[in-house]
Amino acid sequence: MVDLAIGDSLEWGSMSEKILFGTGGVPLSSRSPTSESGIERVAELGLGCMEVQFVRGVKMSEEMARRVGDVAKSKGVRLTAHAPYFINLNSHEEEKVIASKERLIQTARIASHLGAEGIVFHAAFYLNDPPSAVYATVKQALDEMVKLLVVEGNRVLLRPETTGKGSQFGTVEEVLSLCAEIEGIAPCIDFAHLHARDGKLNSYEEFVALLKLVEGRLGRQALDHMHLHLSGVEYGKHGEIRHLNLRESDLRYVELLRALKDLEVHGLVICESPSLEGDALLLQDTYNSL
């Protein structure tokens, strides 16, 4: 690992010449459910990235992570990782906060061995606490974890994700504020989640406005190193219900792709539709046809 001192800048990752599309997890058509097989299938399909899913727990050894990373490097597939779902930095039970931090740190450590550029996570639930208080709690926890990772020489970016329910911490403002205030934090913008929160954010103009907001708060480098999640989504009065395939959803993904192209956004788009590689290829083909 690289020897860093606290305060040294963490890199945003390698900039893509264009947006790369990939799957949130091993493609359904892979020969086996292993990460290595998934990476090989991603490459065979002509996709460019894959998010390794640790959503049920980090169960990969350092040795295995290095092997998986070598496969990705040999195939030219860029990797990210998704931390476990069982994270709540605002839990009222101290042992759950400690466990949440441990899960994030462990994900970052394994992601570093994978050669992954960042880890995505859902930071917290409000639990009826004032949003401002939850923000302060989450910010303090993430600041502590970033400093620990810097001491370890770990350059993996922590990427809090915008969330799809009103009960979850993770509005655009909250995520961008964390990224502006803590070095080593960068956003994961999930367009399906944001659309599901209130049924809005679903037009070219709104997509452009959001992307310009990201640039305004975090600078052009944020648009050059974006990490996006995208899928169809079913939602109700409380927000997200479940992911859908894009053509089964009302999300105007073509307009979103047009906004990404017009603003020359670079980075990774991770598809989380049930069909995974089917919609990832649909997004890639649609983007390239624009």
Beta bridge partners of residue 267, listed in sequence order: 19, 226
Q: Which amino acid is at 168?
A: Q
Question: Does residue 159 sit within a domain?
Answer: yes
Q: Domain holding 189: CATH number?
A: 3.20.20.150
- Answering whether pTM is above 0.85, one says yes
Residue 8 lies in a domain: no
- Exposure string for 154-193, b = 16+ CB within 10 A, e = fewer: bbbbbbbbbbbbeebbbbbebbbebbeebbbbbbbbbbbb
Helices and strands, number each (H, E), in the chain: 10, 12
pLDDT tens over the chain, length 290 residues: 333 333 333 454 554 458 999 999 999 999 999 999 999 999 999 999 999 999 999 999 999 999 999 999 999 999 999 999 999 999 999 999 999 999 999 999 999 999 999 999 999 999 999 999 999 999 999 999 999 999 999 999 999 999 999 999 999 999 999 999 999 899 999 999 999 999 999 999 999 999 999 999 999 999 999 999 999 999 999 999 999 999 999 999 999 999 999 999 999 999 999 999 999 999 999 999 99
Establish if 12 belongs to a structural domain.
Answer: no
> In Å, what is the CA distance from 151 to each residue of 138, 182, 202?
20, 15, 41
Round to whole Å and give the CA distance between 145 and 226: 22
Q: Which structure tokens are listed for 79?
A: 């990797």
Question: What total number of domains does the chain contain?
Answer: 1
Q: Is residue 6 part of a domain?
A: no
User: Looking at the domain assignment, is residue 165 inside a domain?
Assistant: yes
Distances (CA, A) of 283 to 21, 255, 275: 7, 11, 12
Q: Calculate Rg over the CA atoms of the chain.
A: 18
* Residue 200 located in a structural domain: yes
Mutual orientation of helices 253-262 and 204-218 as an angle, nearest 10°?
40
Residue 5 lies in a domain: no
Give a yes or no: residue 111 inside a domain.
yes
DSSP conformation class of 36: H
Q: Structural domain of residue 63, as residue ranges?
A: 19-289
